[in-house]
Amino acid sequence: IELNQSTAIARYLARESGLAGKTSIEQAQVDAIVDTINDFMNLFPWTERNEAVKQKMNEDIITNNIPILLNGLSKLLGDQKWFVGDSVTWADFHWAVCSI
């Protein structure tokens, strides 16, 4: 079998290694967090060639979108150590990688 999408590969590996969530509800929560992070990352103008346009778009994202994302993720995390459940999931790793 051949998998071509990085998120599909990551979800598969997470399920196989026990990092997808312990229950089907936790798995859905993990998927929602990962998809939210991916939606946010897709806002960035990765392929824009005009540097002035790219800079303006990045500034807009930083000013208007990052606070919303961080507020939402902060509410999800609350006082917990992990986004979902009582142990690390791939949503935690995904956020760690994307937030660098």
43-98 pLDDT, tens digit per residue, is 999 999 999 999 999 999 999 999 999 999 999 999 999 999 999 999 999 999 99
Q: Outline where DSSP puts E strands in the chain.
A: none
1-46 pLDDT, tens digit per residue, is 888 999 999 999 999 999 999 999 999 999 999 999 999 999 999 9
Is the pTM higher than 0.85? The answer reads yes
What amino acid is encoded at 58 in this protein?
N
pLDDT at site 37:
96
Contact partners, residue 83, CB within 8 Å, separation at least 6 = 29, 30, 33, 73, 76, 77, 89, 91, 92, 95
